Chain A
Amino acid sequence: MNELNETAVIWGAECRRTLRSARVLALLGLYCLFALLVFVMAAAVRSFAQQLIQSGMLVSNEEMPVSVLGVFYLSLFFLPIYVALMGFDQVSGEVGPRSIRYLTVRARRSSVLLGKFLAQTTVLLGLVFLLDLGLCVYAWVTTPGFGIAAFGFNVLRFWMASTVFSLAFLALTSLCSSVTPSSAVSLILNFSVLLVSFLLWTTALLDPGHPLRYVRYLSPLRYSLKLIHLEPLAVAGGVAAYVVFTLLFLGGAFFVLRERDL
Protein backbone atom coordinates (compact mmCIF):
# COMPACT_ATOMS: atom_id res chain seq x y z
CA MET A 1 0.00 0.00 0.00
CA ASN A 2 1.52 3.30 -0.99
CA GLU A 3 1.56 6.48 1.03
CA LEU A 4 -1.47 7.98 -0.70
CA ASN A 5 -3.60 4.94 0.05
CA GLU A 6 -2.43 4.91 3.67
CA THR A 7 -3.30 8.57 3.99
CA ALA A 8 -6.72 7.99 2.45
CA VAL A 9 -7.48 5.11 4.84
CA ILE A 10 -6.46 7.18 7.87
CA TRP A 11 -8.33 10.20 6.54
CA GLY A 12 -11.57 8.24 6.19
CA ALA A 13 -11.24 6.55 9.57
CA GLU A 14 -10.39 9.79 11.38
CA CYS A 15 -13.29 11.62 9.71
CA ARG A 16 -15.71 8.98 10.96
CA ARG A 17 -14.21 9.10 14.43
CA THR A 18 -14.24 12.89 14.57
CA LEU A 19 -17.84 13.13 13.42
CA ARG A 20 -18.89 10.58 16.04
CA SER A 21 -17.21 12.48 18.86
CA ALA A 22 -19.31 14.72 21.05
CA ARG A 23 -16.60 17.36 21.03
CA VAL A 24 -17.21 18.35 17.43
CA LEU A 25 -20.91 18.86 18.04
CA ALA A 26 -20.20 20.86 21.17
CA LEU A 27 -17.71 23.02 19.32
CA LEU A 28 -20.11 23.51 16.43
CA GLY A 29 -22.73 24.73 18.90
CA LEU A 30 -20.18 27.02 20.51
CA TYR A 31 -19.09 28.37 17.15
CA CYS A 32 -22.66 29.09 16.08
CA LEU A 33 -23.39 30.77 19.42
CA PHE A 34 -20.32 32.93 19.02
CA ALA A 35 -21.29 33.87 15.47
CA LEU A 36 -24.81 34.69 16.61
CA LEU A 37 -23.51 36.82 19.45
CA VAL A 38 -21.22 38.75 17.12
CA PHE A 39 -24.03 39.14 14.64
CA VAL A 40 -26.42 40.56 17.22
CA MET A 41 -23.71 42.89 18.47
CA ALA A 42 -22.76 44.02 14.99
CA ALA A 43 -26.39 44.57 14.02
CA ALA A 44 -27.06 46.47 17.21
CA VAL A 45 -23.95 48.57 17.08
CA ARG A 46 -23.59 49.36 13.42
CA SER A 47 -21.26 52.20 14.23
CA PHE A 48 -18.78 49.61 15.46
CA ALA A 49 -18.62 48.06 12.00
CA GLN A 50 -18.38 51.49 10.43
CA GLN A 51 -15.41 52.22 12.70
CA LEU A 52 -13.75 49.02 11.59
CA ILE A 53 -14.21 50.05 7.96
CA GLN A 54 -12.86 53.52 8.60
CA SER A 55 -9.82 52.16 10.43
CA GLY A 56 -9.11 49.80 7.56
CA MET A 57 -9.61 46.67 9.67
CA LEU A 58 -12.76 45.83 7.72
CA VAL A 59 -13.08 46.06 3.96
CA SER A 60 -16.32 47.74 2.90
CA ASN A 61 -18.43 46.04 0.32
CA GLU A 62 -21.41 47.77 -1.15
CA GLU A 63 -23.27 44.58 -1.86
CA MET A 64 -22.86 42.98 1.54
CA PRO A 65 -24.42 44.26 4.77
CA VAL A 66 -21.74 45.49 7.14
CA SER A 67 -23.10 43.30 9.94
CA VAL A 68 -22.55 40.20 7.80
CA LEU A 69 -19.01 41.25 6.99
CA GLY A 70 -18.39 41.94 10.66
CA VAL A 71 -19.64 38.52 11.65
CA PHE A 72 -17.53 36.94 8.97
CA TYR A 73 -14.34 38.69 10.03
CA LEU A 74 -14.85 38.15 13.72
CA SER A 75 -15.82 34.53 13.24
CA LEU A 76 -12.63 34.20 11.23
CA PHE A 77 -10.71 35.19 14.32
CA PHE A 78 -12.60 32.63 16.35
CA LEU A 79 -11.58 29.94 13.87
CA PRO A 80 -8.03 29.45 15.22
CA ILE A 81 -9.45 28.82 18.69
CA TYR A 82 -12.00 26.47 17.22
CA VAL A 83 -9.31 24.65 15.25
CA ALA A 84 -7.12 24.37 18.34
CA LEU A 85 -9.97 22.98 20.44
CA MET A 86 -10.90 20.50 17.74
CA GLY A 87 -7.45 19.22 16.86
CA PHE A 88 -5.07 19.81 19.74
CA ASP A 89 -4.95 16.10 20.54
CA GLN A 90 -4.89 14.73 16.99
CA VAL A 91 -1.32 13.45 17.45
CA SER A 92 -0.47 14.20 21.09
CA GLY A 93 -3.67 12.43 22.14
CA GLU A 94 -2.23 9.26 20.65
CA VAL A 95 1.35 9.83 21.78
CA GLY A 96 0.47 10.21 25.48
CA PRO A 97 -1.37 6.86 25.79
CA ARG A 98 0.95 5.46 23.09
CA SER A 99 -1.88 4.23 20.88
CA ILE A 100 0.06 5.78 17.99
CA ARG A 101 2.36 2.77 18.27
CA TYR A 102 -0.36 0.61 16.74
CA LEU A 103 -0.44 2.94 13.75
CA THR A 104 3.23 3.48 13.04
CA VAL A 105 3.98 -0.22 12.57
CA ARG A 106 1.44 -0.33 9.77
CA ALA A 107 1.65 3.15 8.27
CA ARG A 108 4.25 5.82 7.66
CA ARG A 109 4.36 8.59 10.23
CA SER A 110 3.89 11.07 7.40
CA SER A 111 0.67 9.28 6.38
CA VAL A 112 -0.57 9.36 9.96
CA LEU A 113 0.01 13.10 10.18
CA LEU A 114 -1.44 13.90 6.76
CA GLY A 115 -4.46 11.60 7.25
CA LYS A 116 -5.31 13.26 10.55
CA PHE A 117 -4.71 16.74 9.12
CA LEU A 118 -7.01 16.06 6.19
CA ALA A 119 -9.70 14.64 8.47
CA GLN A 120 -9.63 17.76 10.64
CA THR A 121 -9.68 19.90 7.52
CA THR A 122 -12.64 18.05 6.03
CA VAL A 123 -14.74 18.32 9.16
CA LEU A 124 -13.84 21.94 9.74
CA LEU A 125 -14.53 23.02 6.18
CA GLY A 126 -17.93 21.35 6.34
CA LEU A 127 -18.80 23.28 9.48
CA VAL A 128 -17.43 26.56 8.16
CA PHE A 129 -19.38 26.12 4.93
CA LEU A 130 -22.60 25.84 6.92
CA LEU A 131 -21.82 29.07 8.76
CA ASP A 132 -20.81 30.96 5.62
CA LEU A 133 -23.94 29.70 3.88
CA GLY A 134 -26.03 30.98 6.79
CA LEU A 135 -24.42 34.41 6.58
CA CYS A 136 -25.06 34.68 2.86
CA VAL A 137 -28.65 33.50 3.25
CA TYR A 138 -29.13 36.32 5.79
CA ALA A 139 -27.57 38.82 3.38
CA TRP A 140 -29.77 37.52 0.57
CA VAL A 141 -32.93 37.89 2.62
CA THR A 142 -32.14 41.31 4.09
CA THR A 143 -30.24 43.07 1.32
CA PRO A 144 -32.05 44.44 -1.72
CA GLY A 145 -30.18 43.73 -4.92
CA PHE A 146 -28.28 40.83 -3.40
CA GLY A 147 -29.16 38.41 -6.18
CA ILE A 148 -28.50 34.74 -6.70
CA ALA A 149 -25.24 35.43 -8.51
CA ALA A 150 -23.95 37.57 -5.65
CA PHE A 151 -25.15 34.92 -3.25
CA GLY A 152 -23.25 32.15 -4.99
CA PHE A 153 -20.16 34.27 -5.47
CA ASN A 154 -20.05 35.37 -1.85
CA VAL A 155 -20.68 31.90 -0.42
CA LEU A 156 -17.78 30.65 -2.50
CA ARG A 157 -15.60 33.65 -1.62
CA PHE A 158 -16.28 33.40 2.11
CA TRP A 159 -15.75 29.69 2.10
CA MET A 160 -12.52 29.86 0.11
CA ALA A 161 -11.22 32.60 2.40
CA SER A 162 -12.13 30.54 5.48
CA THR A 163 -10.51 27.50 3.92
CA VAL A 164 -7.21 29.21 3.14
CA PHE A 165 -7.16 30.85 6.56
CA SER A 166 -8.10 27.63 8.39
CA LEU A 167 -5.49 25.51 6.65
CA ALA A 168 -2.67 27.52 8.19
CA PHE A 169 -4.14 27.15 11.66
CA LEU A 170 -4.92 23.49 11.14
CA ALA A 171 -1.27 23.03 10.21
CA LEU A 172 -0.20 25.04 13.26
CA THR A 173 -2.36 22.82 15.47
CA SER A 174 -0.81 19.75 13.84
CA LEU A 175 2.63 21.13 14.61
CA CYS A 176 1.78 21.87 18.25
CA SER A 177 0.21 18.43 18.59
CA SER A 178 3.23 16.72 17.03
CA VAL A 179 5.76 18.50 19.21
CA THR A 180 4.13 17.82 22.56
CA PRO A 181 4.06 14.66 24.66
CA SER A 182 0.45 14.93 25.85
CA SER A 183 -2.90 16.50 24.98
CA ALA A 184 -2.86 18.95 27.87
CA VAL A 185 0.57 20.31 26.95
CA SER A 186 -0.48 20.49 23.32
CA LEU A 187 -3.55 22.59 24.18
CA ILE A 188 -1.50 24.97 26.31
CA LEU A 189 1.16 25.31 23.61
CA ASN A 190 -1.45 25.87 20.94
CA PHE A 191 -3.17 28.64 22.85
CA SER A 192 0.19 30.18 23.75
CA VAL A 193 1.17 30.30 20.10
CA LEU A 194 -2.19 31.85 19.19
CA LEU A 195 -1.70 34.47 21.89
CA VAL A 196 1.79 35.26 20.61
CA SER A 197 0.39 35.46 17.11
CA PHE A 198 -2.27 37.91 18.30
CA LEU A 199 0.34 40.01 20.13
CA LEU A 200 2.52 40.10 17.03
CA TRP A 201 -0.45 41.26 15.02
CA THR A 202 -1.21 44.07 17.49
CA THR A 203 2.22 45.58 16.86
CA ALA A 204 0.43 47.13 13.86
CA LEU A 205 -1.00 49.59 16.38
CA LEU A 206 2.47 50.96 17.18
CA ASP A 207 3.67 54.22 15.67
CA PRO A 208 4.42 53.86 11.95
CA GLY A 209 8.13 54.46 12.50
CA HIS A 210 8.51 51.97 15.33
CA PRO A 211 10.91 49.14 14.37
CA LEU A 212 8.85 46.52 16.24
CA ARG A 213 5.95 47.25 13.94
CA TYR A 214 7.48 45.00 11.30
CA VAL A 215 7.05 41.87 13.40
CA ARG A 216 3.33 42.01 12.60
CA TYR A 217 4.21 40.31 9.32
CA LEU A 218 5.15 37.20 11.28
CA SER A 219 1.61 36.80 12.58
CA PRO A 220 -0.67 34.45 10.61
CA LEU A 221 -3.57 36.65 11.70
CA ARG A 222 -2.07 39.60 9.85
CA TYR A 223 -3.14 38.50 6.37
CA SER A 224 -6.74 37.50 7.09
CA LEU A 225 -8.19 40.87 6.04
CA LYS A 226 -6.77 40.48 2.58
CA LEU A 227 -8.61 37.26 1.87
CA ILE A 228 -11.89 38.90 0.87
CA HIS A 229 -10.39 42.17 -0.21
CA LEU A 230 -11.84 43.81 -3.29
CA GLU A 231 -8.43 43.97 -4.96
CA PRO A 232 -7.50 40.60 -6.56
CA LEU A 233 -3.82 41.32 -5.98
CA ALA A 234 -4.38 41.78 -2.26
CA VAL A 235 -6.33 38.51 -2.18
CA ALA A 236 -3.50 36.73 -3.99
CA GLY A 237 -1.00 38.14 -1.49
CA GLY A 238 -3.12 36.94 1.42
CA VAL A 239 -3.54 33.48 -0.12
CA ALA A 240 0.21 33.25 -0.78
CA ALA A 241 0.98 34.19 2.82
CA TYR A 242 -1.33 31.48 4.16
CA VAL A 243 0.05 28.89 1.76
CA VAL A 244 3.53 29.67 3.08
CA PHE A 245 2.36 29.44 6.70
CA THR A 246 0.58 26.15 5.98
CA LEU A 247 3.63 24.63 4.33
CA LEU A 248 5.93 25.84 7.09
CA PHE A 249 3.78 24.51 9.91
CA LEU A 250 2.95 21.24 8.19
CA GLY A 251 6.57 20.72 7.16
CA GLY A 252 7.62 21.35 10.74
CA ALA A 253 5.06 18.84 11.98
CA PHE A 254 6.31 16.24 9.47
CA PHE A 255 9.89 16.77 10.55
CA VAL A 256 9.14 16.63 14.27
CA LEU A 257 6.93 13.56 14.04
CA ARG A 258 9.45 11.72 11.89
CA GLU A 259 12.29 12.38 14.31
CA ARG A 260 10.61 12.13 17.67
CA ASP A 261 10.26 9.18 20.02
CA LEU A 262 6.80 7.70 20.27
Chain B
Amino acid sequence: MSELAIEIVELTRRFGPKVAVDGVSLSINRGEVYGLIGPNGAGKTTTFSMMCGYLRPTRGTVRVMGVNPFVDGALKGKMGVLPQDAMLPGGWKVGPLLTYWARLSGLDKPEQEARGSLERVGLMEAWGVETHALSHGMAKRAALAQALMGRPPLVLLDEPTAGLDPRIANQVRQVIRDMRDQHTTVVVSSHNLQELEQLCDAAAILDRGKLAQAGTMAELTGQSAEFRVQVARGTVIVPELESLPGVTSARMEGETLLHVRFDGQAHKPEEVISRVVGHLLQTGVLILGVSRGRRLEERVLQLT
Protein backbone atom coordinates (compact mmCIF):
# COMPACT_ATOMS: atom_id res chain seq x y z
CA MET B 1 0.00 0.00 0.00
CA SER B 2 1.27 3.45 -0.92
CA GLU B 3 2.55 5.61 1.94
CA LEU B 4 0.93 8.56 0.23
CA ALA B 5 -2.62 9.42 1.17
CA ILE B 6 -2.96 11.79 -1.76
CA GLU B 7 -0.80 12.21 -4.82
CA ILE B 8 -1.52 14.96 -7.30
CA VAL B 9 0.49 15.35 -10.47
CA GLU B 10 0.28 18.36 -12.78
CA LEU B 11 -3.35 18.92 -11.89
CA THR B 12 -5.11 21.52 -14.00
CA ARG B 13 -8.72 22.57 -14.07
CA ARG B 14 -10.24 25.15 -16.37
CA PHE B 15 -13.68 26.74 -16.15
CA GLY B 16 -14.05 28.09 -19.66
CA PRO B 17 -11.19 30.51 -20.21
CA LYS B 18 -10.42 30.74 -16.49
CA VAL B 19 -7.72 28.45 -15.16
CA ALA B 20 -8.71 27.69 -11.57
CA VAL B 21 -5.90 25.22 -10.88
CA ASP B 22 -2.78 25.28 -12.99
CA GLY B 23 -0.34 22.38 -12.99
CA VAL B 24 -0.36 21.71 -9.25
CA SER B 25 1.64 18.73 -7.98
CA LEU B 26 1.41 17.65 -4.33
CA SER B 27 2.08 14.66 -2.14
CA ILE B 28 0.38 14.17 1.20
CA ASN B 29 1.68 11.46 3.50
CA ARG B 30 -0.56 9.15 5.49
CA GLY B 31 -1.10 10.27 9.07
CA GLU B 32 -0.27 13.88 8.28
CA VAL B 33 -2.40 16.93 8.99
CA TYR B 34 -1.96 18.89 5.80
CA GLY B 35 -3.06 22.45 5.14
CA LEU B 36 -4.19 24.00 1.91
CA ILE B 37 -3.49 27.70 2.12
CA GLY B 38 -4.15 30.61 -0.17
CA PRO B 39 -6.23 33.71 -0.70
CA ASN B 40 -9.73 33.64 -2.19
CA GLY B 41 -9.61 32.33 -5.74
CA ALA B 42 -6.30 30.55 -5.16
CA GLY B 43 -7.81 27.21 -6.21
CA LYS B 44 -8.07 25.52 -2.83
CA THR B 45 -11.69 24.45 -3.10
CA THR B 46 -11.27 23.39 -6.74
CA THR B 47 -8.29 21.25 -5.72
CA PHE B 48 -10.36 19.85 -2.86
CA SER B 49 -13.22 19.07 -5.19
CA MET B 50 -10.94 17.17 -7.54
CA MET B 51 -9.52 15.18 -4.61
CA CYS B 52 -13.08 14.15 -3.72
CA GLY B 53 -14.01 13.26 -7.29
CA TYR B 54 -16.59 16.05 -7.54
CA LEU B 55 -14.77 17.83 -10.34
CA ARG B 56 -12.83 16.21 -13.14
CA PRO B 57 -9.43 17.67 -13.92
CA THR B 58 -8.81 19.17 -17.33
CA ARG B 59 -5.34 17.69 -17.15
CA GLY B 60 -3.19 15.79 -14.67
CA THR B 61 -3.86 12.94 -12.26
CA VAL B 62 -5.10 12.49 -8.71
CA ARG B 63 -4.77 9.39 -6.56
CA VAL B 64 -6.48 9.31 -3.20
CA MET B 65 -5.72 6.45 -0.81
CA GLY B 66 -4.33 4.56 -3.78
CA VAL B 67 -7.43 4.89 -5.97
CA ASN B 68 -8.63 7.12 -8.75
CA PRO B 69 -11.37 9.28 -7.19
CA PHE B 70 -13.21 9.53 -10.53
CA VAL B 71 -13.99 5.83 -10.59
CA ASP B 72 -17.59 5.54 -9.39
CA GLY B 73 -17.65 4.41 -5.75
CA ALA B 74 -13.85 4.12 -5.45
CA LEU B 75 -13.66 6.42 -2.42
CA LYS B 76 -16.33 4.65 -0.42
CA GLY B 77 -15.14 3.97 3.12
CA LYS B 78 -11.78 5.57 2.43
CA MET B 79 -12.62 9.18 3.04
CA GLY B 80 -14.80 11.57 4.99
CA VAL B 81 -15.43 14.99 3.52
CA LEU B 82 -16.68 18.31 4.80
CA PRO B 83 -17.40 20.21 1.59
CA GLN B 84 -17.22 23.97 2.00
CA ASP B 85 -20.52 25.12 0.55
CA ALA B 86 -22.65 22.00 0.38
CA MET B 87 -25.96 22.43 2.13
CA LEU B 88 -27.52 19.64 4.13
CA PRO B 89 -30.49 18.21 2.22
CA GLY B 90 -33.93 19.38 3.28
CA GLY B 91 -36.75 17.18 4.51
CA TRP B 92 -34.60 15.40 7.06
CA LYS B 93 -33.96 15.53 10.78
CA VAL B 94 -30.26 15.53 11.64
CA GLY B 95 -30.19 12.16 13.44
CA PRO B 96 -32.09 10.14 10.83
CA LEU B 97 -30.09 11.84 8.05
CA LEU B 98 -26.77 10.87 9.61
CA THR B 99 -28.09 7.38 10.31
CA TYR B 100 -29.10 7.07 6.65
CA TRP B 101 -25.66 8.21 5.51
CA ALA B 102 -23.96 5.84 7.96
CA ARG B 103 -26.08 2.99 6.57
CA LEU B 104 -25.15 4.04 3.05
CA SER B 105 -21.49 4.00 4.06
CA GLY B 106 -21.96 0.38 5.05
CA LEU B 107 -21.21 0.99 8.73
CA ASP B 108 -22.21 -1.80 11.12
CA LYS B 109 -24.21 0.20 13.65
CA PRO B 110 -25.47 3.22 11.73
CA GLU B 111 -27.46 4.89 14.50
CA GLN B 112 -24.68 4.38 17.02
CA GLU B 113 -22.20 5.88 14.55
CA ALA B 114 -24.46 8.86 13.97
CA ARG B 115 -24.88 9.47 17.68
CA GLY B 116 -21.16 9.03 18.33
CA SER B 117 -20.09 11.51 15.69
CA LEU B 118 -22.68 14.08 16.79
CA GLU B 119 -21.32 13.73 20.31
CA ARG B 120 -17.78 14.32 19.03
CA VAL B 121 -18.82 17.68 17.60
CA GLY B 122 -21.01 18.53 20.60
CA LEU B 123 -24.29 18.48 18.72
CA MET B 124 -26.35 15.72 20.30
CA GLU B 125 -29.14 18.18 21.05
CA ALA B 126 -29.72 18.54 17.29
CA TRP B 127 -30.65 14.88 16.78
CA GLY B 128 -34.33 15.58 16.22
CA VAL B 129 -33.94 19.00 14.58
CA GLU B 130 -34.90 19.50 10.92
CA THR B 131 -31.85 20.34 8.81
CA HIS B 132 -33.43 23.56 7.52
CA ALA B 133 -33.89 24.75 11.11
CA LEU B 134 -30.19 24.51 11.98
CA SER B 135 -28.13 27.64 12.55
CA HIS B 136 -25.00 28.09 10.40
CA GLY B 137 -22.76 26.81 13.16
CA MET B 138 -24.96 23.80 13.89
CA ALA B 139 -25.20 22.90 10.20
CA LYS B 140 -21.43 23.12 9.93
CA ARG B 141 -20.98 20.82 12.88
CA ALA B 142 -23.59 18.38 11.57
CA ALA B 143 -21.70 18.34 8.28
CA LEU B 144 -18.46 17.77 10.17
CA ALA B 145 -20.10 14.94 12.09
CA GLN B 146 -20.99 13.12 8.87
CA ALA B 147 -17.36 13.37 7.76
CA LEU B 148 -16.21 11.68 10.96
CA MET B 149 -18.62 8.74 10.88
CA GLY B 150 -16.91 5.39 10.65
CA ARG B 151 -13.52 6.97 11.44
CA PRO B 152 -12.28 7.01 7.83
CA PRO B 153 -8.51 6.95 7.32
CA LEU B 154 -8.63 10.22 5.38
CA VAL B 155 -10.69 13.28 6.24
CA LEU B 156 -10.90 16.35 4.01
CA LEU B 157 -12.15 19.51 5.69
CA ASP B 158 -12.78 22.59 3.59
CA GLU B 159 -12.95 25.66 5.83
CA PRO B 160 -14.07 23.71 8.91
CA THR B 161 -14.10 26.69 11.27
CA ALA B 162 -15.37 29.40 8.93
CA GLY B 163 -18.28 31.24 10.50
CA LEU B 164 -18.06 29.42 13.82
CA ASP B 165 -17.88 31.20 17.15
CA PRO B 166 -14.52 30.92 18.95
CA ARG B 167 -15.68 28.27 21.42
CA ILE B 168 -17.05 25.98 18.72
CA ALA B 169 -14.06 26.66 16.46
CA ASN B 170 -11.80 25.57 19.28
CA GLN B 171 -13.87 22.41 19.69
CA VAL B 172 -13.44 21.67 15.98
CA ARG B 173 -9.68 22.22 16.24
CA GLN B 174 -9.63 19.74 19.11
CA VAL B 175 -11.43 17.20 16.92
CA ILE B 176 -8.67 17.66 14.31
CA ARG B 177 -5.98 17.23 16.97
CA ASP B 178 -7.69 14.04 18.12
CA MET B 179 -7.67 12.74 14.56
CA ARG B 180 -3.97 13.51 14.30
CA ASP B 181 -3.37 11.56 17.51
CA GLN B 182 -5.21 8.63 15.94
CA HIS B 183 -2.97 8.88 12.83
CA THR B 184 -5.85 9.88 10.60
CA THR B 185 -4.75 11.80 7.54
CA VAL B 186 -6.44 15.19 7.58
CA VAL B 187 -6.39 17.73 4.78
CA VAL B 188 -7.72 21.06 5.91
CA SER B 189 -8.14 24.36 4.16
CA SER B 190 -8.66 27.55 6.08
CA HIS B 191 -8.13 31.27 5.91
CA ASN B 192 -7.16 31.19 9.56
CA LEU B 193 -3.40 30.84 9.17
CA GLN B 194 -2.72 30.83 12.88
CA GLU B 195 -5.05 27.87 13.16
CA LEU B 196 -3.28 26.03 10.35
CA GLU B 197 0.12 26.80 11.83
CA GLN B 198 -0.99 25.18 15.07
CA LEU B 199 -2.67 22.17 13.50
CA CYS B 200 -0.72 21.20 10.42
CA ASP B 201 2.40 19.14 9.96
CA ALA B 202 2.77 20.34 6.40
CA ALA B 203 1.01 22.59 3.96
CA ALA B 204 0.79 23.85 0.41
CA ILE B 205 0.42 27.51 -0.42
CA LEU B 206 -1.61 28.15 -3.55
CA ASP B 207 -1.83 31.43 -5.39
CA ARG B 208 -3.94 32.11 -8.48
CA GLY B 209 -4.19 28.41 -9.18
CA LYS B 210 -0.49 27.69 -8.98
CA LEU B 211 1.49 26.05 -6.23
CA ALA B 212 3.56 28.78 -4.62
CA GLN B 213 5.28 26.53 -2.09
CA ALA B 214 4.73 23.21 -0.34
CA GLY B 215 6.57 21.64 2.55
CA THR B 216 6.55 20.91 6.23
CA MET B 217 5.36 23.67 8.51
CA ALA B 218 8.95 24.09 9.73
CA GLU B 219 10.12 24.59 6.16
CA LEU B 220 7.35 27.01 5.32
CA THR B 221 7.91 29.13 8.39
CA GLY B 222 11.68 28.84 8.09
CA GLN B 223 11.98 27.46 11.61
CA SER B 224 15.10 25.56 10.70
CA ALA B 225 16.70 28.43 8.83
CA GLU B 226 16.05 31.70 10.59
CA PHE B 227 15.16 33.38 13.86
CA ARG B 228 14.54 36.84 15.23
CA VAL B 229 15.86 38.46 18.37
CA GLN B 230 13.97 41.27 20.06
CA VAL B 231 16.63 43.69 21.29
CA ALA B 232 15.90 45.76 24.40
CA ARG B 233 19.09 47.76 24.65
CA GLY B 234 22.64 47.82 23.28
CA THR B 235 24.43 47.91 19.96
CA VAL B 236 24.36 44.87 17.72
CA ILE B 237 27.58 44.36 15.76
CA VAL B 238 26.21 42.59 12.70
CA PRO B 239 29.54 41.62 11.01
CA GLU B 240 30.61 39.79 14.19
CA LEU B 241 27.37 37.82 14.21
CA GLU B 242 27.79 36.90 10.56
CA SER B 243 31.20 35.42 11.35
CA LEU B 244 29.73 32.98 13.87
CA PRO B 245 29.62 29.32 12.74
CA GLY B 246 26.37 28.46 10.92
CA VAL B 247 25.15 32.03 10.53
CA THR B 248 24.66 32.93 6.88
CA SER B 249 23.33 36.45 7.33
CA ALA B 250 22.23 38.89 9.98
CA ARG B 251 20.51 42.24 9.68
CA MET B 252 18.54 44.65 11.76
CA GLU B 253 14.84 45.07 10.91
CA GLY B 254 14.17 48.44 12.44
CA GLU B 255 16.02 49.43 15.59
CA THR B 256 15.08 46.57 17.86
CA LEU B 257 14.63 43.45 15.77
CA LEU B 258 17.57 41.35 14.70
CA HIS B 259 16.91 38.87 11.90
CA VAL B 260 19.38 35.99 11.61
CA ARG B 261 19.52 33.37 8.88
CA PHE B 262 21.53 30.20 9.35
CA ASP B 263 22.43 26.97 7.62
CA GLY B 264 19.82 24.62 9.12
CA GLN B 265 21.17 21.63 7.25
CA ALA B 266 24.64 21.68 8.76
CA HIS B 267 23.88 23.22 12.14
CA LYS B 268 21.25 22.50 14.74
CA PRO B 269 18.96 25.49 15.35
CA GLU B 270 19.45 25.37 19.14
CA GLU B 271 23.24 25.58 18.75
CA VAL B 272 23.16 28.54 16.38
CA ILE B 273 20.55 30.38 18.45
CA SER B 274 22.50 29.81 21.66
CA ARG B 275 25.70 30.96 19.97
CA VAL B 276 24.13 34.19 18.70
CA VAL B 277 22.34 34.97 21.96
CA GLY B 278 25.52 34.25 23.90
CA HIS B 279 27.48 36.63 21.69
CA LEU B 280 24.87 39.35 22.06
CA LEU B 281 24.93 39.06 25.83
CA GLN B 282 28.74 39.13 25.86
CA THR B 283 28.73 42.37 23.88
CA GLY B 284 26.33 44.01 26.31
CA VAL B 285 23.16 43.65 24.31
CA LEU B 286 20.04 42.99 26.42
CA ILE B 287 17.34 40.94 24.76
CA LEU B 288 13.58 40.64 25.27
CA GLY B 289 12.92 37.48 23.35
CA VAL B 290 13.77 35.08 20.58
CA SER B 291 11.34 33.66 18.01
CA ARG B 292 12.15 30.94 15.53
CA GLY B 293 11.14 31.26 11.93
CA ARG B 294 8.41 33.60 10.90
CA ARG B 295 4.68 33.52 11.20
CA LEU B 296 2.96 31.47 8.53
CA GLU B 297 0.96 34.57 7.75
CA GLU B 298 4.11 36.47 6.85
CA ARG B 299 5.22 33.67 4.59
CA VAL B 300 1.85 33.51 2.84
CA LEU B 301 1.75 37.26 2.39
CA GLN B 302 5.24 37.13 0.95
CA LEU B 303 4.31 34.40 -1.54
CA THR B 304 0.84 35.49 -2.62
Residues in chain A within 8 A of chain B (CB atoms):
1, 3, 5-6, 9-10, 13, 17, 20-21, 94, 97-99, 101-111, 258-259, 261-262
Contacts and interface: CB of A to CB of B under 8 A. Distances in A.
Contacts of A1: 76, 104-106
A10 B106 CA distance: 12
A22 to B, nearest CB: 10
A101 B72 contact: no
Contacts of A259: 56
Tell me if B's interface is mostly helix, strand, loop or mixed.
Answer: loop
Given A1-B106, A262-B54, A105 B89 contact: no
B104 A6 contact: yes
A99 B87 contact: yes
A101 B91 contact: no
B127 interface: no
Contacts, number: 77
Contact of B91 (A6, A17, A106): A17
Contact of A17 (B81, B86, B92, B105): B92
B72 A108 contact: yes
Interface string B33-55: 00000000000000001001111
Contacts of B95: none
Given A98-B85, A99-B87, A105 B79 contact: yes
A47 to B, nearest CB: 47
Interface size class of B (residues with CB under 8 A): 20 to 34
A107 B104 contact: yes
B83 interface: yes
A244 B75 CA distance: 33
5 contacts: A20-B91, A97-B86, A105-B75, A107-B76, A109-B72
Contact of A106 (B54, B86, B88, B105): B105
A94 B131 CA distance: 14
A148 to B, nearest CB: 41
Contacts of A262: 54-55
B269 interface: no
B103 interface: yes
B286 to A, nearest CB: 57
B92 A258 contact: no
Nearest to B106: A1
Q: Which 10 A-B pairs have the closest CB atoms?
A: A1-B106, A108-B73, A98-B86, A97-B87, A99-B89, A106-B105, A108-B72, A101-B86, A101-B83, A262-B54
B293 interface: no
Contacts of B143: 102
B73 A13 contact: no
B80 interface: yes
